[in-house]
Amino acid sequence: MSESKLFNALREEDRQTSKGKKGGGPLRYVLIVGIVILLGFNLLFVDFGEDDGGQQPLPEPQIQPITPPPGQDAQPGQFTPDLGRQPIEQGSADEGNQARALIDDVRNRGNTADPEALFAQAGTFIQEGKLADAYLIYFYLAKQGHGPATLTLAEMADPAYYDPRTSFYEAPDFAQAHKWYLQAIMLGEDRAEAQLRDLKLRVKAAAASGDEKARRLLVGW
């Protein structure tokens, strides 16, 4: 059974289970047997001593804490980030500079930034193909507890939504999608729970097809 067919079967089983339908038992047993067979086959032939050569997770930008000017206290909701001056490793050294300048300007003016305006600007960067700039803003907003930005980061890494024209990631990344979906759920994003459940089925299908990273991710799921 191919990975895509296994995923579709798992998703159908998940839907039937969630709706409380009866008669799903035989299909579940078939799926379990299929997964066991695939796992057994791969365990026999996978050399766990080799490097799987997979893509390493992209490093997250370091956000340095900002000390308020003398005599001023940080105000709740005040966005005063410092994303540093290290260039983004992917692409040219000036990628992300517009986002850094935008956030630095907010900090230097001492204004209370509108997170929705920053989120909208990130969308504009996406349309302009400035993926590093968009990623830095989404990442910053997510760290400040902005739900839509967090969900966007998850979708950037989720193979179900991944698009190289709009994602900063070079390829889909199960681990990154899992991490951001969990945070989006905690921030109250309604769609995140269903999308995380769908992602888990994809990870299960990939693990059954021999993806070692998917297997490791399932261990801590």
> pLDDT for 55-99, tens place per residue?
444 445 443 333 333 343 433 333 333 333 333 444 444 689 999
CA distances to 65, 66, 73, 158 from 108, in Å: 14, 11, 15, 35
* Nearest one of 165, 163, 159 to 181, comparing CA atoms: 159
Confidence of residue 19 (pLDDT cuts 50, 70, 90): low
* Alpha helix (H) residue ranges in the chain: 3-18, 25-45, 97-109, 115-127, 131-143, 147-157, 174-186, 190-208, 212-219
Alpha-carbon 215 to chain mean position: 18
The model's pTM: 0.62
Confidence of residue 105 (pLDDT cuts 50, 70, 90): confident
Weakest-pLDDT range from 76-85, 110-119, 148-157: 76-85
Do 180 and 161 form a contact (C-beta atoms < 8 A)? no
Amino acid at position 88, single letter? I
Rounded mean pLDDT of 38-58?
A: 43
Q: Mean pLDDT across the chain, nearest whole number? A: 73
Q: How confident is the model at residue 111, as a pLDDT?
A: 56
Rounded mean pLDDT of 48-59?
A: 42
Q: Is the dihedral of CA 100, 103, 182, 129 positive or negative?
A: negative
- What DSSP line would sit under 138-168, residue for residue? HHHHHHTT-HHHHHHHHHHH-TTT--TTT-S
More confident residue, 24 or 221: 221
**Phi-psi label, residue 90: left if phi above 0, alpha if psi -120 to 50, beta otherwise:** beta
Q: How confident is the model at residue 114, as a pLDDT?
A: 82
Percent of the chain with pLDDT over 70: 55
